[in-house]
Amino acid sequence: MESIFHEKQEGSLCAQHCLNNLLQGEYFSPVELSSIAHQLDEEERMRMAEGGITSEDYRTFLQQPSGNMDDSGFFSIQVISNALKVWGLELILFNSPEYQRLGIDPINERSFICNYKEHWFTVRKLGKQWFNLNSLLTGPELISDTYLALFLAQLQQEGYSIFVVKGDLPDCEADQLLQMIRVQQMHRPKLIGEELAHLKDQRMQKIDLDQSLEASHPYDGTGMLDEDEENLQRALALSRQEIDMEDEEADLRRAIRLSMQGSSRSSISEDIPQTSGTNSSASLSSEELRKRREAYFEKQQQPEQISHLHETPTTSEDTLETDTGDDMTEEDMLQAAMNMSLETISA
């Protein structure tokens, strides 16, 4: 399909598109067709002048606009016919007496030019297949051999004038290529207006979808893409996990410290010397007991110091010895705290 030359509609230049699609190339421009139209107008004026330039018919003719072209870009069948004569081609009206006389069979022809309400388009055979090269279509439309006669009959019923193009068309790449291969068309081309309407509908649907997404995410005012949103959520989740891990580690260290402090308090309470017949709380004031505990806690919290606490109790068996190494891990500290607690409970 890409090798087929197909001009799409621009303004009202359908006659130009019709001729170029027929000849499969940029053979004619609006300027060249306008020149042919002016030439035809001059020929008609000269024929009218033969009846006298002072006649009423001649003056009326001069006042009328050209019948071969207009400002919109429309060109008459006479302009198209004269343009094709340059290439030795002739137009014969479909089902006319001459058409009947020549016994023309559409399937054996090479091309047709169709006209309806000032619109021109070409139907041409390229290789071994027929194509509708209407400039109002988004691309060439494949027509099967069996459908060709029905297609032409349908055009006639719709009011189209159909002309058979007689003569040898110039060689073209598409005709040579399609002599060797046959093409298949999965989807028929749409009219340009339908395609534009379809594209407009797609744009409107996209706008509606975007508005719906904005409505469902009212706090997303930064225009952030979904991918960026996912990355942000992932980063926040990782950050929360790190904070949770740090909190757990802090809680573990705090629990170990409190456990050791609790065990130490129990040991100190048991290691305070007692006098016969009197209680330790009676012998020591609460202020002295608090100072002794603070001094003990300060010794326990020095990171690189090995503390050995020896106090001489009233009985020789109740001796408490606490040993912490320089390389103790939090797990070792926890185990030591548990051992101290167990020893305290046993004592």
Indicate which CATH number applies to the domain containing 32. Answer: 3.90.70.40
pLDDT per position as a tens digit, 127-148: 999 999 999 999 999 999 999 9
Number of domains the chain contains: 1
Instruction: Report the distance separating Cα 83 and Cα 81, nearest Å.
Output: 5
> Which of 1-5, 96-100, 121-125, 284-288 has the largest mean confidence?
121-125
Residue 32 scores a pLDDT above 50? yes
Any domain includes 271: no
The alpha-carbon radius of gyration of the chain (Å, integer) is 52
Q: Is residue 312 scored above 70 in pLDDT?
A: no
H or E, element range at 91:
strand 90-93
The answer to whether residue 58 is domain-embedded is yes
Q: What is the mean pLDDT of residues 313-332?
A: 48
The answer to whether position 131 is within a domain reads yes
Task: For 162-205, give the DSSP string.
Answer: EEEEESPPPP-HHHHHHTT-----SSPPPBHHHHHHHHHHHHHH
Looking at the domain assignment, is residue 120 inside a domain?
Answer: yes
Is the confidence at residue 91, as pLDDT, over 60?
Answer: yes
Q: Phi/psi at 73 (nearest 5 deg)?
A: 110, 5
Long-range interactions of 317-324: CB distance < 8 A, separation 24+: 318/270, 318/271, 318/347, 320/267, 320/270, 320/271, 322/264, 322/267, 324/300
Range of the domain at 183: 14-194
Classify residue 183: in a domain, yes or no.
yes
Q: Rounded to 5 degrees, what are φ and ψ at 211? A: -65, -40
Per-residue model confidence as pLDDT tens digits over 94-123: 989 999 998 889 999 999 999 998 899 999
Q: What residues are annotated to the active site?
A: 14, 119, 134
Average pLDDT over residues 164-192: 92
- Angle formed by the axes of helices 14-23 and 30-49, nearest 10°: 110
For the chain, give the percent of residues with pLDDT over 70.
60
Report yes or no on 88 lying in a domain: yes
Q: Does a structural domain hold residue 276?
A: no
With respect to residue 108, please indicate whether it lies within any of the assigned structural domains: yes
User: Stretch 33-39: mean pLDDT, rounded?
Assistant: 94
